[in-house]
Chain A
Amino acid sequence: MDKKNKFGLPDLDKFIQIGNRSLLIKGRSGTGKETLCFELARNNMKDYNVIFITRNQTDTVLYRRYPWIKDFVQSSNIVEISSAESGMADHSFVLAAVANAVANSSKKVTDPFLSSEVVKKPFIILDIWDSVSREMNLIDKMRAEKLLTSLAEKYDGFIIFLSEQTDTASLEYLVDGVIETAQQYYKTYRIREALLEKLKGVQIRQPKVPFTLQNGRFSAFSRLKNQKQTTSKFVPLPNSDSKFSTGNADLDSKLGGGFKRGAVIGIEIDRDVDRFALVPLLAPLTLNFISQDNPVLISSSADQDVNAIVNYLLPYVDSEKIKNMKIYGHGFGEPSEYIIEREGVDFEASHDRWAKTYDILKTRKKPLLMSVDYSFIELAYPAQGKIVLKAMIENSRNTRHNRDLMIIVSRPGFESLEVMKSICDLHLRIFDHEGTTFIASLKPQMFLCNMQSSFEIGYPQLILEDSV
Chain B
Amino acid sequence: MSSKLTMFPYNIAEDTARFQPSVIDSEKGYYDTIEKKFITSSTLDSLMDILIPQKNYFEKRDQRINQSINRIRRNLSVYQKNPGDSYAQVLLKYLSSRFLVSQSQNMVDAAVLIVDIVESTKLATKLSPEELSSLVRVFSQEMSILISAHAGFVLKYSGDAVIAYFPQLEQYGDKEENAIMCGKSMHAIIQHALNSAGPDFAIPKIQIRVSIDCGKDRIVFLGTEPDLIGHTITISSKMIRFAKPGQMVIGENTYINIPAELQQGFVKSDDKNWNYADPETGKIYPIYISKTGEL
Contacts and interface: CB of A to CB of B under 8 A. Distances in A.
B157 interface: no
A112 B71 CA distance: 10
Given A103-B22, A156-B36, A110 B43 contact: yes
A116 B38 CA distance: 13
A131 to B, nearest CB: 25
Interface of B: 22, 24-25, 31, 33, 35-40, 43-44, 47, 71, 74-75, 78-79, 81-88, 91, 137, 141, 145
Contacts of A118: 83-84
12 contacts: A103-B31, A103-B38, A107-B37, A112-B39, A112-B86, A112-B87, A112-B88, A112-B91, A113-B87, A113-B141, A115-B82, A121-B36
Nearest to A119: B36
Interface residues on A, range: 20 to 34
Given A108-B24, A114-B74, A155 B36 contact: yes
Contacts of A154: 31, 33
Interface string A138-163: 00000000000000001110000000
A108 to B, nearest CB: 5
A84 interface: no
Given A104-B25, A107-B36, A117 B82 contact: yes
Contact of A115 (B25, B36, B37, B137): B137
A272 interface: no
B251 to A, nearest CB: 33
A429 to B, nearest CB: 54
A35 interface: no
The 9 A-B pairs with the shortest beta carbon distances in the complex, nearest first, are A116-B84, A112-B87, A115-B82, A109-B39, A112-B47, A112-B88, A109-B87, A113-B71, A107-B37
Interface string A85-109: 0000000000000001001101111
A123 to B, nearest CB: 13
Contacts of B44: 112
B25 A114 contact: no
Contacts of A155: 36
Given A103-B22, A108-B24, A113 B74 contact: yes
Given A104-B24, A106-B24, A108-B24, A116 B36 contact: no
A111 B35 CA distance: 15
Given A108-B39, A113-B86, A115-B83, 12 more contacts: A103-B38, A108-B38, A109-B39, A109-B43, A110-B43, A112-B43, A112-B47, A112-B91, A113-B71, A113-B88, A113-B145, A115-B78
B74 A111 contact: yes
Interface in A378-412: none
A154 B84 CA distance: 21
Contacts of A103: 22, 24, 31, 38
B256 to A, nearest CB: 37
A115 B75 contact: yes
A322 to B, nearest CB: 59
Contacts of B82: 114-117
Interface string A429-440: 000000000000
Contacts of B22: 103
B52 to A, nearest CB: 14
A119 B38 CA distance: 12
Contacts of B43: 109-110, 112
Interface string A223-254: 00000000000000000000000000000000
A156 B37 CA distance: 11
A110 B40 CA distance: 9
Given A106-B24, A106-B31, A115 B79 contact: yes
B73 to A, nearest CB: 11
